[in-house]
Structure 1
């Protein structure tokens, strides 16, 4: 309607002035309700053609969309294991800080595993004391074996010396018995030394390894116990948290609730523009937005990203062939917009629907010396008609509460 009114000022209105003051025709006489078409046909046709052209130029070079939303990512509250809820520490809707416990699972099995690991560590420590005592015992046995060996060795040396000085005075049988006894005492000494080495190996290697294994089992059990306390990974707010004591949660099938991170949906606006505007939408374009949750406010924004793919064309591998007719609605060009000024989206509820206008700027092309006069004039006209779209957005922002509250029928 606004475009039509603007175009009529340079078409129908001059035509009427020509008919009225040049040809002398008057309203209610020569120009009546029934003769308007015939009398003002040139102005009306020109107005309609100019209106269609103006609307085409405005909506192509300065695209607009009603499908803009402050999307935000939610974090599912999911435990790392299956378990039954033993305690709930968050309300249906409550703020949480990073690290706060939201709910707790049953920990009887994990506590039993921790106790078993602690008992195992105590058992290894007791075995370590016993092994140290075995070392002392083995040292005593070594000293005893050394004494017996030395006694047998001295006695054998004495009898060999007597036999050497006076052959026949010592029976050969006695010398052989002493040699056998000395070999046995040597075996006892080796056995005691091996026992000490074994005890020392247990103290230095085996039992510390068993203790380390038991401590690792304790740490593993403690990790499982800590997993029973489901904590908030980030600061935010728990919403619609209906979990109750006795519920069973499963990380594969059923989450416990939803955590909305702090500041979610307050950074960027996601808008879907028509596919025909794919060649126009560029990063750096200035845009404006007005949202339902913050009426009568126009937010200056800038395009920070344009998605190179249209979601409607994505294909998932399956056993059926793709039919293009299954795509019922054409997809849109997804763009990311951020406020130009800090805090521009403050007061806008995350998830709110918005209306967005983007504006093409040809300032650099107009300022370039390589641009011809007529092309420069056309680019000036393209940039100028963006004012019309800005006026339309402000009219929409003004009428949005009335349209929503009064004319929607709710």
Structure 2
């Protein structure tokens, strides 16, 4: 309507004034209700053509959308396992800080596992002390075996020397027995060394490995016990927290509630523009928004990101082939907008519905010296008609409470 009124000022109105004051025709006489089309046909035709052109230029180069909101991600309150609730520390809705305990699960099983793991570590420590005593014992046995070996060897050498000096004084059988005894004592030394090495390996390698495994099992049991205490991962607010002692919660079916991060939905506004504006939407474009939760306020914005993909084109692999005509509604181009000034979104409730206008700016190209005069005029006209869309947004912001509270029938 506003575009029609503006276009009529330069088409229908001059045509009427020409026929009224130049040709002398009077409204109600020569210009009647039935002769309006014929008398003002040039003005009416020009007005309609100019209105359609103006609307096309405005909505293409300065796109608008009412599909805009402050999306935010909620964090489900879930334990890492499953169990029965033992104690609840927060209310149905309450502000929490990172690390605050929300609720605890029954931990009797985890405490028993932790105590068993601790006992296993103590058992390995006791075994290590026993093994160290075995090492000392094995070293003593090595010394004893060496002494016995040396005694048998000395006796063999004495009798062998006597046999050499005076053959027959010592029976050969005694010398053979002593040689067997020396070999036996040598084997005893080897066995004692092997026992000592085994005891040393037990102390230096086997038992430390067993202790490390026992400590790992103890740490795992401690982790499982800590998992029974559910804490807030971020600063925020707990909502719909209905869990009570005795309830069973798990990751698949029974979340305890939701945690809304403190800054969720308070920094970025997401808006979906029509696909036809794909070539117009650019990062850095200036925009304006008005939101239902903060009426009568125009918020200056700037486009920070333009999503390269349209969500309507995504699909998941399945047993059926993709049928293109099932995508009835065309997807939109998702853009992310941030306030141009600090605190611009203060007072806007996260999740609020908003209306967003984006404005094309050709100032740099218009100001360039090498831009032709004709193109400069067209670009300047495109930038100028953005004022119409800005005025429309302000009218929408003014009428939004009336439309919502009165005309919608609530």
In 1: Cα distance, 2:374 partner to 2:169 partner? 143
Bigger shift: residues 150-159 or 292-301:
150-159
**Counterpart position of 1:355:** 355
Alignment of structure 1 residues 378-397 onto 2, 5 Å: 378-397=378-397
Alignment of structure 1 residues 152-301 onto 2, 5 Å: 152-301=152-301
Q: Secondary structure at the match of 2:304?
A: strand
**Counterpart position of 1:9:** 9
In 1: Cα distance, 2:143 partner to 2:324 partner? 95
Aligned CA-pair RMSD: 2.4
In 1: Cα distance, 2:401 partner to 2:348 partner? 15
Q: What does the per-residue CA deviation read over 1:209-266, in whole Å, with 9 as the maximum and x for residues that have no partner?
A: 1111111111222222222323332222222122233333333444433222221112
In 2: Cα distance, 1:97 partner to 1:58 partner? 48
Q: What does the per-residue CA deviation read over 1:49-84, in whole Å, with 9 as the maximum and x for residues that have no partner?
A: 322222222112211111111111222333332333
Q: What does the per-residue CA deviation read over 1:108-144, in whole Å, with 9 as the maximum and x for residues that have no partner?
A: 2322222122111111111111112122222333333
Q: What does the per-residue CA deviation read over 1:187-223, in whole Å, with 9 as the maximum and x for residues that have no partner?
A: 3333333222222221111111111111111122222
Q: What does the per-residue CA deviation read over 1:323-351, in whole Å, with 9 as the maximum and x for residues that have no partner?
A: 22212212112222221112211111111
In 1: Cα distance, 2:175 partner to 2:365 partner? 121
1:333 aligns with 2:333: yes
Q: Secondary structure at the match of 2:350?
A: coil
In 1: Cα distance, 2:29 partner to 2:61 partner? 44
Alignment of structure 1 residues 319-330 onto 2, 5 Å: 319-330=319-330
Q: Secondary structure at the match of 1:65?
A: strand
In 1: Cα distance, 2:72 partner to 2:47 partner? 45
In 2: Cα distance, 1:188 partner to 1:251 partner? 64
Q: What does the per-residue CA deviation read over 1:279-306, in whole Å, with 9 as the maximum and x for residues that have no partner?
A: 2222222111100011111111112222
Aligned length: 410
How does the TM-score come out when normalised to structure 2?
0.91
Distance 1:319 1:152, change over 3 A: closer
**Counterpart position of 1:402:** 402
Structure 2: gaps spanning 5 or more residues: none
**Counterpart position of 1:90:** 90
1:143 aligns with 2:136: no
Distance 1:147 1:247, change over 3 A: same
In 1: Cα distance, 2:170 partner to 2:41 partner? 157
Q: Secondary structure at the match of 2:99?
A: coil
Distance 1:70 1:166, change over 3 A: same
Bigger shift: residues 36-45 or 195-204:
36-45
**Counterpart position of 1:114:** 114
Structure 1: gaps spanning 5 or more residues: none
In 2: Cα distance, 1:335 partner to 1:197 partner? 72
Distance 1:165 1:278, change over 3 A: closer
In 2: Cα distance, 1:389 partner to 1:3 partner? 10
Q: Secondary structure at the match of 1:385?
A: helix
**Counterpart position of 2:61:** 61
In 2: Cα distance, 1:147 partner to 1:368 partner? 106
How does the TM-score come out when normalised to structure 1?
0.91
- The offset of 1:88, in angstroms, is 2.7
In 2: Cα distance, 1:143 partner to 1:317 partner? 76
